[in-house]
Structure 1
Amino acid sequence: MGGVGVGQRARAWLPAALGAVIAADVAGGVWDIAAGRSAPAEAWGPGATLCAPWPMIAFQVVAVTVAVRSRRLPGRIAAGLLAAACAVSVASGFFDGQLARSDLGPAEVGFQVILLALTAVLGGVATAAVFAGSLQGRATPSMD
């Protein structure tokens, strides 16, 4: 069976998934500033309500870059770290006190849920990139 393997497809989707997360992070930070909850210097900081903090965004960019550029062990490690970081980010979204805070409107809470979902998708694609490498090259049983 020829064609593109699952790992290659997952790596190809990583930049798009990251782009969606970054777009949401930028929009969320700007929304937070416009709502008067954050100053521009702190919108992407540890108290961010509608976006990830900038260190997480930077980590995601570096991890995706390494995962896409290296199909060997460094790329799989980067994808694995990205998957773990996304899982922690999604979990912390439910427990850090920012989700559905009393000063957020329904649209803002909905936006938080969308951001968590996009982060989960990025983590899922990263997971596929990690585990698909171990599946490539395995023969698929045939019914011949």
Structure 2
Amino acid sequence: MHEPRLTRALRAMLNTQRVASLGTLNVDGAPFVSMVPYAIEPVAACLVIHVSLLAPHTRNLLTNPAVSMMVMQPEAAGEPVHALPRVSMDGTATRLQPESPSWLAARRVYLERFPEAEPMTHLGDFSFVAFFPKAARQVAGFGTARPLEEEDLTSLLRPLPEL
């Protein structure tokens, strides 16, 4: 199956980068940004984060599930930063119920990516949260940007079909 160059680049970035910036709103409507490790759960076509209920971003997303996430390529010494490939996604965060099928799938993909986090999955104040992107803006380099719709993102988070 042919995949357009920008889609291929975005898929590669989402699968190779491991951290995102998470934007939430507190109860007063003030923005809050934090760093979260993430994994991709392909069946549900979502990003999975594992967060502590003690963290401000978790309290924020439980109160207001409309959140944003940004994933970007790391800076390279001597290279211009304005052209760094990145994607900003808006969507909805959903706390997954422990031991539910979606929780088990989230735990599996998260631990495949972060095996060192296994002990934290047993702590009572940590939860798996699924982020379902609804819209996004991809910047693939200087002067190369495009919007993405929910269908594009769902397809992007699922594996490529076998030929």
TM-score, normalised to structure 1, is 0.23
Looking at secondary structure, tell me which structure has more strand per residue.
2
Greater Cα radius of gyration, structure 1 or 2: 1
Looking at secondary structure, tell me which structure has more helix per residue.
1
RCO comparison, higher one (Cα < 8 Å, 6+) = 1
